[in-house]
Amino acid sequence: MKGIYSKLIQKLNGLDPIKYASNRNFINGDVSRLSPYISRGVISTKTIFNSLLDSEYDFNQIQKFLQELAWRDYWQKKWQIAGNIDIDLKNEQYPVSNKKTPLSIVEHCSTITAIDNGIKELYKTGYMHNHLRMYTAGVCCNIGQFHWLNPAKWMYYHLLDGDWGSNALSWQWVAGTNSHKKYIANQENINKYCFTKDVNTFLDKSYQELSAFDKTPLEISSEIDCKFEVELPKGKTPKIDNELPTFIYTAYNLDPNWKKDEKGNRILLLEPSHFKKYPVSKKVIDFYIILSKEIEGLQITVMEFEDLEKLIKNPSEIHYKEHPFSNHFRGNEKERDWIFPDLNANGSFFNYWKKGIKNQNLK
User: What pLDDT digit, counting tens, does each position of 164-212 carry?
Assistant: 999 999 999 999 998 878 999 999 999 999 999 999 999 999 998 888 7
**Short-list 112, 129, 116, CA closest to 190:** 112
Contact 138, 174 (CB under 8 A): yes
Q: In this model, does residue 225 exceed pLDDT 80?
A: no
Most confident of 132-136, 218-222, 357-361: 132-136
Domain 4-85+348-359 has CATH 1.25.40.80: yes
Rounded Cα distance between 347 and 112, Å, is 36
Rounded Cα distance between 281 and 273, Å, is 15
Cα separations in angstroms, 351 against 211, 316, 356, 357: 29, 38, 8, 10
Band (pLDDT 50/70/90 cuts) for residue 1 is very low
Domain ranges of the chain: 4-85+348-359, 101-224, 246-334
Q: Do domains 4-85+348-359 and 101-224 have the same CATH topology?
A: no
Q: What is the pLDDT of residue 63?
A: 93
Q: What is the pLDDT of residue 224?
A: 67
Q: What is the pLDDT of residue 55?
A: 84
Rounded Cα distance between 246 and 252, Å, is 17
Band (pLDDT 50/70/90 cuts) for residue 214 is low
Rounded Cα distance between 261 and 18, Å, is 37
Strands 265-270, 223-224: parallel, antiparallel or unpaired by DSSP?
Answer: unpaired
Q: Which comes out higher in pLDDT, residue 71 or 216?
A: 71
Rounded Cα distance between 114 and 250, Å, is 34
Per residue in 116-160, pLDDT (tens digit) is 999 999 999 999 999 999 999 999 999 989 999 999 999 999 999
- 3-state SS class at 319: strand
Q: DSSP assignment of 336-347, as one string?
A: ---SSTT---SS
Give CATH superfamily name and number for 101-224. Answer: DNA Cyclobutane Dipyrimidine Photolyase, subunit A, domain 3 (1.10.579.10)
Contacts of 341 (CB under 8 A, 6+ apart): 335
Per residue in 296-314, pLDDT (tens digit) is 999 999 999 999 999 998 8
**Cα torsion for 361, 350, 29, 108, to the nearest 10°?**
150
Q: In this model, does residue 232 exceed pLDDT 80?
A: yes
Rounded Cα distance between 206 and 115, Å, is 19
Rounded Cα distance between 38 and 254, Å, is 10
Most confident of 43-57, 152-166, 232-246: 152-166
Contacts of 143 (CB under 8 A, 6+ apart): 184, 202, 203, 210, 213, 217, 218, 220
pTM (2 d.p.): 0.94
Rounded Cα distance between 167 and 165, Å, is 6
Q: What is the pLDDT of residue 363?
A: 61
Contact 85, 169 (CB under 8 A): yes
Identify the weakest region by mean pLDDT among 93-102, 172-181, 224-233, 264-273. Answer: 224-233
Per residue in 95-119, pLDDT (tens digit) is 998 899 999 999 999 999 999 999 9
Q: Is the dihedral of CA 156, 122, 29, 41 positive or negative?
A: positive
Mean pLDDT of the chain: 92
Q: What is the pLDDT of residue 221?
A: 61
**Short-list 230, 13, 221, 263, CA closest to 98:** 221
Contact 343, 352 (CB under 8 A): yes
Q: What is the pLDDT of residue 235?
A: 72
Q: DSSP assignment of 178-200, as one string?
A: SSSS-----HHHHHHHHT----S
